Structure 1
Amino acid sequence: MIDKYQKLSVFHFSSEIKKRHGKKHLKCIIFGNFGAMNLGDEAILAGQIQELHKIPNLTITVVGRYPKEVQRIHKVTALSLYSLYKVRREVKKSDFVIVGGGGIINKVERSLIGFFYQIYMLGVFFLLPRMYKKKIYVLGIGIYSNANRIIVNMVLPFLRAATLLTVRDFHSQTFLKKKNVHAALYQDNSFLMDLATKQDILKDAYFQKHYRPERMNIGISLVKPDAKKDEKRLSKEILSFIGEYYQKADFWFYATDYNPEYFNDAKVGKQLYDELKKQYTSEIVFHLVPMTLSPQRYFASFKLMQFVIAMRFHAAVFAYRNDVPFAGISYDKKCTSFIESVGKTALQLKTLTWEQINKNVL
C-alpha cells in the first residue's frame, strides 16, 4: 500500500489570515473540543496557537468544555462553552473565529443528551459568529459518514459559507465532496505543534527514573470498544501479545483521553494491568505515562518506543510523525481513514489477533 499522507502539506494558515485582516491589533476566538482531557485534541490546539503566534499583536481566546484545563496546558485565556453570555460577548468583540480541528462531526451519538449537545455546539460554533458577521475559518476538521444525519445536514450550510474550510483526512474530503462542499486537504493540525527532542525527553525526571534503553520499549494506546464482544476480544489479543514480549520488553500505556465523566483510557490501562498481574507470575513492567505532561512532551516520548500499538487516532498520528513503527487498530472511520492513508492495514476489532499486531509492527 502507498503512503498518500506524506504528500500532503501542513497548512500554515497564519499567512492566509494576515492577508485577510489588515488591523494592527486583532482578536481571535477558537472553538473546539478543547480542555476536555484529550491530549490529541490538545495537540491540535497547541499547534493552532503556535501558528497564530506568528501574527503580531493577536489576542487569543479559547472556548472549550473545561477552560481551567485549557489555561493549565496552553497558558491562554479560556471560556466555558456553557457560559453563553460571555462567549457571545467575546464573539462580538473578535475579528475572526476559528473552528477546529479534530473530529467535531463524527460518531453517531445515541443518547438524547449527546444529540442536543451537538446541536448546541453547532449553534455556538457556527450560528453565533454568523449572527455577528464574523469570518469563520474551519480548519483541519474531520467529518465522517457515521455521523448523525440530522447533525450533518445542519452543519453543511455553515461549512459551505465558511471563509476557509480544510479537512484532515481523505475520507472527510470525499464525504464533503459528495455533499457539494469543497474542502482543501492538509495534514492534521497537530503537525503544526513542535515536539520536544528525544534528548529533552530523556532529561525528564519520569523517564530518567523508568526508561531502560537496554530493553525493548513498547507503547500501547487503547480505547474501550462500544460492544462487549469487541472489548473481550481486544483484551484477549493484547494480553496474548504482551505475553509474547513481557520477558524482554517494558510496556508504556498512553491514556490520551483521561476525562473522568466516562470509562476513559486510563481506566482501560488499569484494567489491562490488573489482568496482566493475574495471568503472569513474573513481574511485568507496565508504566502509565503521566497525562500531566504537555502534548509536546507526551507525544514526543513515542521516540523512545521500538513500536506502538495505536488505537487512538492521535497515537497513530504521532507514531507516524515520529517515524515509529505502529499497528493501527481501528474503532472508528477516522482511524481507518488515517491508517490506510499512510499505507498500512487498519486492523479491525471483530477479527483482531495478536499475530496481526505482531506482523504490523515488525
Structure 2
Amino acid sequence: MYKILISGYYGFNNIGDESILRAVVDNLRSRLADTEITVLSQDPVSTAEKYGVYSASRKSLLSILQEVKKCDLLISGGGSLLQDVTSKKSILYYLIIMWMAQLFRKKVFIYSQGIGPINANLNRRLTAWTLSKVSGIVVRDEASKEFLAEIGVNPAKVAVTADPVLRIKPVPLEIGQEILRKEGIQLREEGLIVGFAIRERKLDSQFVDELCLAIHQLVEEQQAQIVLIPFHYSEDLAVIEELEKRLGDQVSSIKHKYLTNEMLSIIGNMDLLVGVRLHALIHSAIMNVPMIGISYDPKINSFMKSMGMKALCSIYDFSSQDFIEEFNKTIRHKEVIQRRVQENMVSLVKSLDTNEEMIREIMKK
C-alpha cells in the first residue's frame, strides 16, 4: 500500500479548491493502483465524508507531523498555494509542510499548481530552495514555469499542464434546475440567464459601482435574468448581499453551499457566465457555457489565454460600457467561442495525465 498525503487549501468551503480536491482524488484512484489517500483539511470530518479519504487537521502541528511521517509521498496542490499576495504567511505554511517531508526523507510532488506572485525576496529564495529538492514539479500554466525560472528553479525540472478541475466531466442540467427552484429562482424561458461569480472584498469600490450599472443595463435593456453565485461561500456572500441591497429584485442569488457537481450543473443552466473567480470560469468551460473573465490575479489571464481568449479587464479598470460591448460581442459569437473552448479543452485535459505518469515513476523508485 503506497500512502499519499495531500496538502492544500481544503475544508474552507471554497468550491474552487474543493473541486480541485475532487479532481485530484478521483484521478489518483483511477490511475494509480493500491494507494491510500490522506488529506490535510480545515474540516477533517467533512473532507473524509465527501471524498472517502482519511483526513487530518491542517491546524494541528502534531497531526501534520504524524501524517508526514506515515506517508510515502506528499502532494502539494493544486491551486495557488505558493504565493504571498493574498496572505504573507500562507506560503510559509505550505513550504514548512514540504520541509517536514524532506526532513523525514519523503518524496514531494507539486501537482498542477499555479505559482506566484511571490513578492518578498525571502519567500522567493525559500521557494526556489525548497522546490529544487522535490521529486517532481507540475504547474498549470506557462506563466508559472516562467516565474519559477525567474526565481532560480531549473526549467527542465518543470512540466506544464492545466488546472486539475478541467478533467471533471460535465453533469446533467436537471440537478442545477432543481437547486435553483429550491433557492426560489424560477428560470425564465425568455431572455438571457446570466450568472455572476464575483470576488470583491471592498464593497464600496469603483468595481462594485460599475458592476451595478452594468447589471442594471442588462436587466433594463435586454431583460436578462441575473443569478449571483458564491464560489468562496464565506467571502463572496458579502459582495452578493451588497449587490442585492443596491439592485433589489433585479438580481437573484444562490444562498447555500453546494458540491462540485451541483455547482457545475447550476452554471450549466446559464446562457453566459461572468467570472472573477477562476474556478467559476473553469466550470463554464466544462459545461460549455460562454464566459467573460474579469481578472484580479494573473491566473485569470493565464486561464483565459489557455482557452484562446482574453480577460476583458481587471477589477481595477472595469467599465460598465466596455462590459456591455463585450457582453454583446460574446452573445453574437457564442457558437464560435464554444467551439474554440472545447478544442482547447481536449489538449489541456490530455496534458493532465502528466501528473499521474510522474507520480507512477516516483512510486517505482
TM range (shorter): 0.7 to 0.9
2:96 counterpart (123, 141, 158): 123
Which 5+ residue runs of structure 2 have no aligned equivalent? Answer: 331-365
1:272 counterpart (243, 248, 266): 243
1:351 counterpart (299, 317, 326): 317
- Tell me the residue number matched to 2:111: 139
Higher share of residues assigned helix = 2
* Cα distance between partner residues in 2 of 1:337 and 1:320: 14
CA contact (8 A) 2:180 2:266 kept: no
Secondary structure (helix, strand or coil) at the match of 2:80 reads strand
Distance 1:255-1:67 versus aligned 2 partners, 3 A rule: same
- Tell me the residue number matched to 1:202: 177
Matched, 1:284 2:257: no
Distance 1:99-1:243 versus aligned 2 partners, 3 A rule: same
- Tell me the residue number matched to 2:138: 166
- Tell me the residue number matched to 1:99: 76
Q: CA deviation at 1:213?
A: 4.6
- Tell me the residue number matched to 2:297: 332
Higher relative contact order (CA 8 A, sep 6+): 1
CA contact (8 A) 2:9 2:17 kept: yes
2:159 counterpart (184, 190, 198): 184
CA contact (8 A) 1:223 1:312 kept: yes
Q: CA deviation at 1:32?
A: 0.5
Distance 1:285-1:254 versus aligned 2 partners, 3 A rule: closer
Report the residue type matching 1:137 in the other structure: F
Distance 1:148-1:68 versus aligned 2 partners, 3 A rule: farther
- Tell me the residue number matched to 1:32: 8
TM-score, normalised to structure 1, is 0.81
Q: CA deviation at 1:207?
A: 6.1
CA contact (8 A) 1:326 1:360 kept: no
* Cα distance between partner residues in 1 of 2:255 and 2:70: 40
Number of matched pairs: 320
CA contact (8 A) 1:219 1:307 kept: yes
Q: CA deviation at 1:37?
A: 2.0
CA contact (8 A) 1:170 1:341 kept: no
Report the residue type matching 2:88 in the other structure: F
Matched, 1:296 2:268: no
Q: CA deviation at 1:116?
A: 4.0
CA contact (8 A) 1:252 1:289 kept: no
Distance 1:119-1:356 versus aligned 2 partners, 3 A rule: same
CA contact (8 A) 1:100 1:139 kept: yes
2:36 counterpart (42, 59, 65): 59
Matched, 1:250 2:215: no
Which 5+ residue runs of structure 1 have no aligned equivalent? Answer: 1-24, 278-282
CA contact (8 A) 1:79 1:87 kept: yes
* Cα distance between partner residues in 2 of 1:265 and 1:122: 28
> Between the two proteins, what is the percent identity of the paired residues?
22
